[in-house]
Structure 1
C-alpha cells in the first residue's frame, strides 16, 4: 500500500482528541493512509512531567516502526529484555532473557515517550493544538464538530477519542459508558541507590510477589522500583496529592517490612525520590467503541492497567489498526466496526489477565500467582503484529 494515497472510507480530515501516546501515533498512521489529522490536547503545552515510568514491549515498537517513530522512541528508552519472577522471601521462581529474534522491551518515563512521539509527529507535518479541552461534539451528515472549553470549535470528517482513561469522547458516544474500574491498589514508584545491598542483573525486570508486590530494575545510575499499597476504599485524587511523601513512604515501609528486596529498596528511597502515581485502574468492557463518525482509541476504550505492561503498546497497535481500516473500507462506520472486531478480543483478554494480577497486588492472595512459563505468557503479546501492507477484509456483519 502506498503512503498518502486515497482511502476507502472517503475520510480526508480527522480530529484527534488527546496528545498522549495513542493520539500522535494515530495522526502519523492516518497521514500514512492519506488522511490529514490534527491533534487537540487539553494541556496548555505538551504533557511533559506527566506520569511515571512505563514499558514499551516489542509489539508496541513494531507498531511504531509502521509509522517511522521507532528510532525516536528507542533514543529515550532503556532496554530491559529479561524478566525474573520471585517471591517476597527472595526465592527465584522463573527467569527469561527475552526472545532473541525480537528487540528488547524499553523502559522510560512516560513524559519522555510523549515528547518523543510529539516531536516526531510535528517533524512529519502533524499539527498539534494545545489548551483545547473537549466539552461536546455534534455530528452532521458529512462531518463532526468538536467544541472546546475556551469556546472554540473544529470540524472534520471523523473524530477520534484518544483522551485517556477519563475520556470525554467516551461519554459523548455513550452517556451510560462505564467508568474506570479501581483495582484495589494505590501505585507508587521511586529511586534507590544502586548499591542497595543485593544483586540486580542489568537488563532484567524483577517481579517479587508475596504479601505485597514490588517490581524493580537497574537504571543507568540507580535502581528504579514500582509497588502497590492496597486500599479497599481509595482516597480521592486531591487527598492523594495532599498527603506528604514522608507519610506515604512510612506506610510503604511498614507494609514491605520483611519483603525481599522491598524493605531495603524503601529504606534507601528518600521522600524526594518517591513518585505517587495514584489509583491503579483499568477500563472494564466498553459496550460502544464508536457511534456515527466518532470512535475511541487507546486507554479511552481499553486501558488494561499498568499490571499488564501493555497499555502503551496496545494503544499503538490500535492506532495503526484504526488507520488501516479507514484506508481500506468504504465508510467510517464499516471501518470502525472492523477495527473493533480486530481489536476487542485481544485487548479485553489482556485486561482480564491484568485484573487477576491486580487482585494479588491488592493483597487478596498471599501467594504468587500461578503464571505460565514466561516464554508462554509473553509470546502472544510480544509477537503480535498489525500487518499494515495487508488489505483489511473483515466481515463486519459476522
Structure 2
C-alpha cells in the first residue's frame, strides 16, 4: 500500500510517522520550499487528545525528547478586564502542555525526511479504479492507493474533491507575536484573555522559553495593509487600541516581537460525503478559529486515527474503502463538533461572526 500525503504541516508529518511505523509506504509532497519559509504560529496547546496521538505515531525516544521541551501551565482558562481585575476562571481536566510549534515540527521531521518532496504544488488528481494519481505544477505525477489532503485551510485537495465545502471569515483579525516569559508572570495558564471594549482581546500563553501574546479585534476596526506594516507600526497601532489598559498589558505590547497578522477563518460544517480513495485531515477538513484551542490536537488525532484505520488493511488485506469510511465518520463528527464549539466560544469571548448554517 502506498499513501500520498499532500502537506508537510503537523498533521501530514504525524501521519507520515504513523504510516511508516505501521509499515505503509508514504510519499509526502509540500508546496513550500522548506519547513522554515512561512511563519505559522508559535505556542501550541496540547491536550490529552494530541498527546495520545503523539504516543501513537512517534517512536518513544522521539516523543520523550519532544516532551522534555514542553511547559506545563495551570489547567485553566482565565479572563481579566483591561484593569486586570478577574472576570472568569474555567478549570480544565486532563493533561495540558504548552509547546513550541516549530519544535514539534522538527521532532516529527527526522524519521520521515526522506519521504518529503518540497516545492511541489498539487494541481489536481484523478481516481481511477484501484489507484489515485496526483499531478504537480512541475509536471510530475505520483500514483498511490490513497491520497490524503493534509494541506491546511487553503487545501487544494479539498478544493477539487469537495468544491461545495466553504471556508469563511470570522470577522476577526489577530496579530500574533512573542513577549519575554517574565512579562507573563501571574498568567501561567492554558490561556489568559484580557478582554476590553469593542471586542479587543489580548491573549497570553507562556511556553518554556517565551510567552505568546496576541491581539485580536474586529476586522473593520483595524486598518488595511497590516501585512505591510513594520514591527514598530504594529506595536504602535495596538498601543493606541489599548490606551488606558493596565500598565502590565502596555509593557507586554511595548516588548512585543516577531509579530504577524492573520485573518481568522473557519470551515462551515457539511454533511458526510461519499468515501473514495481521497480523504482529508486537520484544517483541510475542519479549520476553526483558535477559540477552542483544539486545531492542532484534532490534526494529530486525525493522523493517528487514519493510521489505525489503514494499518489492518495492510496487515490483513481487508477492504480499503470501509476502513476509510470508518475514519471519515469519526473525523467529520469530532472535527465539525469542534468547529461549532470554537465558533460559539469565539462569539462569546472575541466577537466572532455566527457560524453560517450551511
Scaled by the length of structure 1, the TM-score of the pair is: 0.76
Equivalent position of 2:105 in the other structure: 114
Rounded Cα–Cα distance in structure 2 between residues aligned with 1:39 and 1:85: 40
Equivalent position of 2:322 in the other structure: 334
Displacement after TM superposition at 1:313 (Å): 0.7
Q: Which whole-Å deviations, capped at 9, do the CAs of 1:222-280 have from their partners, x for residues lacking one?
A: 543122122149888xx44223333332222222223346742444225xx14113101
| Greater helix proportion | 2
Residues 350 and 136 of structure 1, relative CA distance in 2, 3 Å threshold: same
Q: Which whole-Å deviations, capped at 9, do the CAs of 1:319-372 have from their partners, x for residues lacking one?
A: 11112222346433222221122222222122112112323455479xxxxxxx
Question: 1:198-347, aligned counterparts within 5 Å?
Answer: 199-202=185-188, 205-211=191-197, 212-220=200-208, 223-232=211-220, 239-260=225-246, 263-270=249-256, 273-287=257-271, 291-328=275-312, 330-347=318-335
Equivalent position of 2:12 in the other structure: 23
SS in structure 1 of the partner of residue 76 of structure 2? strand
Rounded Cα–Cα distance in structure 1 between residues aligned with 2:160 and 2:222: 27
Residues 306 and 147 of structure 1, relative CA distance in 2, 3 Å threshold: same
Displacement after TM superposition at 1:139 (Å): 1.4
SS in structure 2 of the partner of residue 144 of structure 1? strand
Residues 353 and 234 of structure 1, relative CA distance in 2, 3 Å threshold: farther
Equivalent position of 1:105 in the other structure: 97
Equivalent position of 1:65 in the other structure: 55
SS in structure 2 of the partner of residue 79 of structure 1? coil
Once the two structures are overlaid, the 10-residue window that deviates more, 26-35 or 153-162, is 26-35
Question: 1:355-370, aligned counterparts within 5 Å?
Answer: 355-360=343-348, 362-363=350-351
SS in structure 2 of the partner of residue 116 of structure 1? helix
* Structure 2 residue runs without a partner (length 5+): 354-358
2:74–2:188 CA contact under 8 A, matched in 1: no
Equivalent position of 2:356 in the other structure: none
Displacement after TM superposition at 1:115 (Å): 1.8
Displacement after TM superposition at 1:75 (Å): 3.9
Q: Which whole-Å deviations, capped at 9, do the CAs of 1:120-160 have from their partners, x for residues lacking one?
A: 434xxx61111111001011111111100111111101100
Rounded Cα–Cα distance in structure 1 between residues aligned with 2:222 and 2:30: 28
Equivalent position of 1:379 in the other structure: none
Once the two structures are overlaid, the 10-residue window that deviates more, 281-290 or 246-255, is 281-290
1:185 lines up with 2:172 in the alignment: yes
* Structure 1 residue runs without a partner (length 5+): 1-11, 366-398
Equivalent position of 1:82 in the other structure: 75
Equivalent position of 1:42 in the other structure: 31
Rounded Cα–Cα distance in structure 2 between residues aligned with 1:148 and 1:232: 38
| Greater strand proportion | 2
Rounded Cα–Cα distance in structure 2 between residues aligned with 1:163 and 1:268: 35
1:55–1:107 CA contact under 8 A, matched in 2: yes
Q: How many residues align?
A: 342
1:92 lines up with 2:81 in the alignment: no
Rounded Cα–Cα distance in structure 2 between residues aligned with 1:106 and 1:38: 30
Rounded Cα–Cα distance in structure 2 between residues aligned with 1:145 and 1:194: 48
